[in-house]
Structure formats: C-alpha cells, structure tokens
Amino acid sequence: MEKKRLLVDMDHVMADITTNYIRYYKQATGILVQREDLMGKPEDAAFPQPQLIHEFLFTPGFFRTAPVMEGSQHVMKILNQVYDVSIVSAAMEFPQSLREKYDWLAEHFPFITWQQIILCGSKKWISGDYMIDDHFKNLNYFNGERILFTATHNSHIHKQGYTRVNNWNEVRQLLVKEEVHSI
Amino acid sequence: MEKKRLLVDMDHVMADITTNYIRYYKQATGILVQREDLMGKPEDAAFPQPQLIHEFLFTPGFFRTAPVMEGSQHVMKILNQVYDVSIVSAAMEFPQSLREKYDWLAEHFPFITWQQIILCGSKKWISGDYMIDDHFKNLNYFNGERILFTATHNSHIHKQGYTRVNNWNEVRQLLVKEEVHSI
C-alpha cells in the first residue's frame, strides 16, 4: 500500500524558534522575556522592542542555532517509516535561512534526505494527506488533514477544521498506530 | 476568474545551464565542446571527462553565473500577468545553489517575488495546471498539462503525454492568447 503523504513544518514545529527569540532578545537588550508572557500574542507583540524580532529573522545564524523541539527527533524517525514525509518550510522571505535550514536538518534529522525537503515562499502549491504547521495561513490552503501545532502565537485561537496538537507526544498519538511505537 | 497555476523550471528552461557547462569545461580543460555534439545525449555523456560536469554542479558560482535563456525574460513577464506562476527548481541536491538561485532570479527576473519561488528535492508534491520542465522525471509526477522544454539531453526522446516546446517563443505561442502579446 502506498504511504500517506505527510508535510511537516520546521519553525515552531521541529525548530524551537520561540526559545531562540528569547535568547537573542536577552543578548540584544539584557531583558529576559518569559515564555508565559508570550502566550496568546503574535510572535513579536510581547517583546518591548518588536522590530528586533524582525531583525533576528534576517540575522545570519538565527535559524541555524535554533534548538530542536522536544521529542521531535524520536517521533519524526517513526513518522519517516510510516509516512512519505516532506519537510516544508516557508523560508524564501529570509534567503540567508535557506542553507541554514538545510544544514540544520542535516545535523539534527540526518535520516531526512535532500529529496524530502521543500523550501518555498508559499505552501499553497504543496499537496499531501496531512500537514503539521503552526500557522493557519499555511493550513488554510491545504486540502488534506490540517494539524495545528501549538505555539505561543496561536495558543488563544480556536477554529473549526483543525486538529490541535500541543507537543510531539500528541503528534505520535494522532499519527502513529500502537504497533510501530517501538521503532 | 481565478488564474491558472503555471510551474516553471529553472535549469535548462530559464537558465542556460548547457552554455555554462561548455564555458566551465573549456576553462577547466581547454577543450571547447560544441553544443551540437551534446544533442541527444545525457547531460554529461558528450564531455570527455564527465565527472567534471558533476563537480561543476557543486561548484560555488556555477548556478549564479548561468546565462539567461533567450526570450525567457520577456515571455515570463507576460506569463506572470496571465498565470499564477511559481518557479519550481529541484535544487536541494546542491545546497550551495539555494541562495544562488534566489539571487539569480532577483537579478534577472525581478518581477518574480519570493512568494513565487519553490526550491525542493522532488517535484512530486507540487500541484498546478501547467508545468514547463526539461526532465521527464519531473513531468511524470505531474497531473496537469506537461510541457517539455527541449534541452540537449532530451532532444532525442519522444513520448506520449507531453507537449514539446523548443524555445520561449513556442512557450508564448502555446500559453499566451493573442490579446496579451503586447504587454
């Protein structure tokens, strides 16, 4: 039987961009913003100097140094057996991030091959059976099953037509049947 | 009415990779290979040292310095008005090319926005109404209309299910109705 196609986003799903915002912000301003204070707000709104967040996104090294989301490596290894997986990242707005994202995947997810990576401007042309993403704007175009990964910027939004997952354990519960848990 | 979706390949379609092979090969070996000698052969087979062609593909600057295919800028400007255009390049095998391709498009096709660019490993996840490509392996997956752009490596292959175009003037004749020729 042909494997189902699963599209997985990078930022805020595989890569812990929020932690890197906090780190970079602390380094730039000396101010340590608490993750709890970011909940329910747009990505930059909780930071006293929001324009810094925008600058970080264009700063060489920002995406390359993002921590890996807890549990993502283990669960992605399982999903990569069960599904026809592609990593789909809307990276094109930040051209310096293209190579960084490739290198970041090669380091942290070496079982993902270059054939499985898509870096794009918009995700509306990409088809599949399941999409995991933290942005409604990406999921909205998608005609398969839409899985919203909780991030600080979407935690307060509730809509019909999406299955919310709060962490990678919940991704596994949703997408992996019991018999392959042991991979 | 919603615009039809048109996917356009870069290498051998917008970018004249064959001319760059010949240039780089001449510089590396002193041997000037004639374009006519490449017709009907795989991309590297007509060069006395085929492994050099493979090396060029990983050489920084190779994709950035590719000449623009004759007529492509003018016709793409028209197509970009008529269609919902995306540039789709299977660039991921050559990670150094990612930024180069972005910069090459920004220089030679400034009317193409970052939202319209997709750099991927495989094109099998990308959907649309028309795809222009020089490789059967990319067109084969596509469920819209398949337009094969003639390149030295495909000039001898004839298959059902593809419309062949030999140059950008033929692309225009195929895809643009008379009334918008004057754009």
What ipTM was reported for this prediction? 0.94
Work out the pLDDT band at A161, boundaries 50, 70, 90: very high
Q: Does B155 touch chain A (CB under 8 A)?
A: no
Q: Does B7 touch chain A (CB under 8 A)?
A: yes
Residues A29-68: pLDDT tens digits? 999 999 999 999 988 888 999 999 999 999 999 999 999 9
Contact residues, chain B, for A119 at CB < 8 Å: 92, 98, 118-120
CB atoms A114 and B95 under 8 Å: yes
Given a cut of 90, whether residue B183 has pLDDT beyond it is no
Amino acid identity, position A54: H
Q: Does A128 touch chain B (CB under 8 A)?
A: yes
Work out the pLDDT band at A178, boundaries 50, 70, 90: low
CA angle centred on B88, ends B84 and B94, rounded to 5°: 160
Q: Does A58 touch chain B (CB under 8 A)?
A: no
Residues A131-141: pLDDT tens digits? 999 999 999 99
Distance from CA of A162 to the nearest CA of B (A): 21
Percent of chain B surpassing pLDDT 70: 97
Q: Nearest residue of B to residue A4 by CA position? A: B125
Amino acid identity, position A65: T
| Model pLDDT, residue B178 | 63
Q: Does A4 touch chain B (CB under 8 A)?
A: no
Tokens encoding A86: 């592609």
**In this complex, how many residue pairs, one in chain A and one in chain B, have their CB atoms less than 8 Å apart?**
81
- The torsion defined by the Cα of B49, B57, B69 and B80, in degrees rounded to 10, comes to 160
CB atoms A92 and B127 under 8 Å: no
Given a cut of 90, whether residue B98 has pLDDT beyond it is yes
Residue of A95, A113, A126 with shortest CB distance to B125: A126
Given a cut of 70, whether residue B95 has pLDDT beyond it is yes
**CATH superfamily of the domain spanning A5-15+67-180:** HAD superfamily/HAD-like (3.40.50.1000)
Average pLDDT of the residues in B137-144: 94
Q: How far is the C-alpha of A59 from the C-alpha of B64, rounded, in Å?
A: 22
CB atoms B125 and A93 under 8 Å: no
Q: Does A118 touch chain B (CB under 8 A)?
A: yes
Residues A67-121: pLDDT tens digits? 999 999 999 999 999 999 999 999 999 999 999 999 999 999 999 999 999 999 9
Please provide the average confidence, as pLDDT, over all residues in chain B: 94
Nearest to A59 by CA among A107, A24, A91: A24
Residues B41-90: pLDDT tens digits? 988 888 999 999 999 999 999 999 999 999 999 999 999 999 999 999 99
Residue of B7, B95, B126 with shortest CB distance to A102: B95
Beta carbons within 8 Å of B163's beta carbon, 6+ residues apart: B145, B146, B147, B148, B174
Active site residues of A: 9, 11
CB atoms B115 and A98 under 8 Å: no
- The torsion defined by the Cα of A172, A174, A175 and A180, in degrees rounded to 10, comes to 60
Q: How far is the C-alpha of B149 from the C-alpha of B167, rounded, in Å?
A: 7
For CATH 3.40.50.1000, the residue range(s) in chain A are: 5-15+67-180
CB atoms B114 and A103 under 8 Å: no
Q: How far is the C-alpha of A53 from the C-alpha of A42, rounded, in Å?
A: 11
Average pLDDT of the residues in B29-52: 91
Most B-contacting residue of A58, A85, A125, A126 (CB-CB within 10 A), to test interface? A125
CB atoms A117 and B113 under 8 Å: no
Helix (H, G, I), strand (E, B) or coil at A164: strand
CB atoms B92 and A99 under 8 Å: no
Most B-contacting residue of A115, A137, A142, A143 (CB-CB within 10 A), to test interface? A115
Beta carbons within 8 Å of B157's beta carbon, 6+ residues apart: B136
Residues B102-118: pLDDT tens digits? 999 999 999 999 999 99
Work out the pLDDT band at B180, boundaries 50, 70, 90: low
Given a cut of 60, whether residue A181 has pLDDT beyond it is no
Q: How far is the C-alpha of A17 from the C-alpha of A67, rounded, in Å?
A: 7
The predicted model scores a pTM of 0.95
Residues A1-34: pLDDT tens digits? 799 999 999 999 999 999 999 999 999 999 999 9
Q: How far is the C-alpha of A110 from the C-alpha of A105, rounded, in Å?
A: 7
| Model pLDDT, residue A177 | 82
Contacts 24+ apart (CB under 8 A), A73-77: A73/A108, A73/A109, A74/A168, A75/A168, A75/A169, A75/A171, A75/A172, A75/A176, A76/A8, A76/A14, A76/A109, A76/A111, A76/A112, A77/A111, A77/A183
User: What's the gap between Cα A89 and its chain centre?
Assistant: 8
Report the 10 Å Cβ neighbour count for B166: 12
Nearest to B109 by CA among B33, B168, B24, B182: B168
Give helix then strand counts, H and E, for chain B.
Answer: 7, 6
Active site residues of B: 9, 11
Q: How far is the C-alpha of A19 from the C-alpha of A24, rounded, in Å?
A: 9
